[in-house]
Amino acid sequence: MPVQFEDRAYILHKRAYKESSYIIDLFTFESGIVSIVAKGAKSNKSKFYLNLQLFNQLDVMYSGKSELMTLIQADVNKTVSFSVKKNTFCGYYINELILRLLHKHDQHQNLFLHYEQLLNDMANAIQPEALLRSFEKTLLIEIGYGIDFGNAANGVDIQDKELYMVSPENGITHSSSSQSSDLLVTGKTLKDIELDDFSDLNTLRESKQLMRRILQYHLGGRPLKSRDLFAKTAGQ
């Protein structure tokens, strides 16, 4: 007998499956990432037709015993719409990061709640960069690759005006101004990241480049499709 599950979920990605169905990757509260098939969901007669939209929070029921479950029910619990077009692409970016960096069926309830808050905050945010940096930091912690931005690897206190090299493998080490790298940032930026304080423009700029390089490392250098999509759309 197939096992039946009930959960809260967001759709991270969906793709066409056969003539009338979708395969959907869900981010669920209880079970992390789960892949399901929504049979017949392309039809406007389907009970799923209007509900299976990105950024809707769903109450779902699904069943199965394999890697690909079957959707039984999907009711909208909460909807989010972004007032700024750029924020929609930011949502695509975050969805892709979650899908690429989390293992299927690993529970990440804290990250789920942070994702829920992120979507709510981005709904009317004019500038989402600070929200993204905070989420990226939480995501790295959740997958076991968090960096202690408040402390250098050698135990020396971080100084605001000094420069530091940040390595995904070796943590934070003191550097010199003669070095050039996207992973080279001021001590103040590191302290601000630790405190989730991105009010300083230099912190915002340095933290964006820093997080991009750290995430690229953990993504194995494979480019993000959402970033390319945003670049192409912005150029139109």
- Paired tokens of 233: 């759309």
Beta carbons of 188 and 200 less than 8 angstroms apart: yes
Higher pLDDT among residues 16 and 232, named by residue: 16
In the chain, which segments carry CATH 1.20.1440.120?
A: 85-234
The whole-angstrom distance between residue 166's C-alpha and the CA centroid of its chain comes to 21
Angle at 124 between CA 31 and CA 22, to 5 degrees: 40
Closest CA to 37 of 14, 65, 5: 14
Class of domain 3-78: mainly beta
Exposed, middle or buried, 108 (CB in 10 Å: 0-12/13-18/19+)? buried
- For residues 112 and 101, what is the distance between their CA atoms, to the nearest angstrom? 14
Instruction: With a cut of 80, say whether residue 131 has pLDDT above it.
Output: yes
Q: What is the pLDDT of residue 178?
A: 52
- For residues 20 and 3, what is the distance between their CA atoms, to the nearest angstrom? 24
Instruction: With a cut of 90, say whether residue 225 has pLDDT above it.
Output: no
- Paired tokens of 64: 């199965």
Q: What is the pLDDT of residue 236?
A: 41
Q: How confident is the model at residue 194 (pLDDT cuts 50, 70, 90)?
A: very high
Q: What is the mean pLDDT of residues 145-156?
A: 84
Q: How confident is the model at residue 87 (pLDDT cuts 50, 70, 90)?
A: very high
Give the Cβ contact number of residue 11 at 10 Å. 23
Instruction: With a cut of 90, say whether residue 39 has pLDDT above it.
Output: yes
**Global model pTM greater than 0.85:** yes
Fold of 85-234: de novo design (two linked rop proteins) (1.20.1440)
In the chain, which segments carry CATH 2.40.50.140?
A: 3-78
| Residue 139 backbone dihedrals phi, psi, to 5 degrees | -60, -45
Instruction: With a cut of 90, say whether residue 98 has pLDDT above it.
Output: yes
Q: How confident is the model at residue 173 (pLDDT cuts 50, 70, 90)?
A: confident
